[in-house]
Amino acid sequence: MRTAISAGLALSLALAPTVVAQDIDAHVAVAKGNAGQEYTSLFTILCPATSATAPVAGAAAAPQRGQGRGAAGVAAPAPQRGQRGAPPASQWHAEPVKVFDNLYFVGMTEYSAWAVVTSAGIIVIDTIYDYSIEDEVAGGLKKLGLDPANIKYAIVSHAHVDHDGGARYLQDHFGTRIILSAADWDLFENSTPEPSRPKRDIVATDGYKLTLGDTTLTLYLTPGHTPGTISTIIPVKDNGQPHVVAEWGGTAFNFTKTPANFQTYIDSARRFSDIVARAGADVIISNHTNYDGSKTKLPLLATRKAGERHPYVVGNESVRRYLKVAEECATAGLMGLK
């Protein structure tokens, strides 16, 4: 009897790695199916190719222009927080683009910032770097015929330097109200010297309604990428026709890879997918130009003819597939820890 039990236990232990690998591959396959042709960059940054070649999710894409390799294995731009100097503008400058009647791209080649124009001023979503904020956001708005002095609010999706670095500039120059979650205000303050960060201002709570003039944005706390990542629902119009934009506020798995952190990310992706479904969101945007296809979509707007489909309007099912890629890749990452 003991011999039989020992043999059975040995067989189970031998099979366990194979079973886990098969389970990881199954989740990766679901993610790949949901990525389709639209979200291949998102899939590449989040999912391993196979369990055999990359057993833990979170493999990083090659560094983009103006980037170096971060300690967490995720592509990170130079300079990092606390470093001096800035890469030359030729490595990061992008021209501003009108995307919808009331939504404008004012970001960099790799990092997005968005401007929502309302009847009572401008809301900026993400503030990119301290070295690029004046050129891209303030200068970009001027090129579009808009006044950066009208930036009333800036939503920082999460407290990483590629998205929060310009917040102090907006606060100091235009009196812009800065919005982060409580957890990411703490993260911001613990990682940034006082002269470089804005004074603590508005604290976003889950479901926070930000109304400015004729426009209301709804902010949701979707922890995972950081402890207090904010994802946002934004009403827009295209030639007067209403659409709903969803911004998934934090993407890569550059957190400490523990079961609890992966599970938090998974839960947030599932929850925001349900929110997206209820809101009828038919547009997905990111704060990285690779993830949402902005590098392809922004140029298409320049040649779009009257009556042609808007390149960012992908439909609710597609928006939810984007979030399904994030969820399934995170699930594969969680299983890779076993």
What are the residue boundaries of the structural domains of the chain, listed by start?
A: 90-336
Q: What average pLDDT does this structure show over 16-21?
A: 67
Which pair of structure tokens corresponds to residue 93?
A: 């400058």
- Alpha-carbon distance of 55 to 218, in angstroms, equals 37
Q: What average pLDDT does this structure show over 96-124?
A: 98
Please say whether the beta carbons of 212 and 152 come within 8 A.
yes
- Alpha-carbon distance of 62 to 45, in angstroms, equals 9
Percentage above 70 pLDDT, the chain? 83
Q: What average pLDDT does this structure show over 61-68?
A: 35
**Of 135 and 84, more confident:** 135
CATH of span 90-336: 3.60.15.10
Instruction: Give the pLDDT band of residue 13 (cuts 50, 70, 90).
Output: very low
pLDDT single digits (tens) 237-292: 999 999 999 999 999 999 999 999 999 999 999 999 999 999 999 999 999 999 99
Q: Which of 17-26, 76-85, 273-282 has the highest mean pLDDT?
A: 273-282
Which pair of structure tokens corresponds to residue 59?
A: 């493999």
- Alpha-carbon distance of 326 to 301, in angstroms, equals 27
| Beta strand segments in the chain, E | 67-69, 75-77, 97-100, 103-105, 114-118, 121-125, 151-155, 177-181, 202-204, 208-212, 215-221, 230-238, 241-247, 283-285
Instruction: Give the pLDDT band of residue 21 (cuts 50, 70, 90).
Output: confident
Task: Check pLDDT > 60 for residue 14.
Answer: no
Please provide the average confidence, as pLDDT, over all residues in the chain: 88
Task: Check pLDDT > 60 for residue 56.
Answer: no
pLDDT single digits (tens) 182-220: 999 999 999 988 888 999 999 999 999 999 999 999 999
Task: Check pLDDT > 90 for residue 85.
Answer: no
Residue 84: the pLDDT is 54
- Alpha-carbon distance of 14 to 30, in angstroms, equals 26
Residue 290: the pLDDT is 96
Task: Check pLDDT > 50 for residue 26.
Answer: yes
Q: What average pLDDT does this structure show over 7-19?
A: 50
Residue 19: the pLDDT is 61
Task: Check pLDDT > 60 for residue 63.
Answer: no
Residue 20: the pLDDT is 79
Task: Check pLDDT > 70 for residue 61.
Answer: no
Residue 147: the pLDDT is 98
Q: What average pLDDT does this structure show over 123-144?
A: 98
> 3-state SS string over 194-210?
HHHCCCCCEEECCCEEE
Q: What average pLDDT does this structure show over 148-157?
A: 98
Please say whether the beta carbons of 244 and 285 come within 8 A.
no
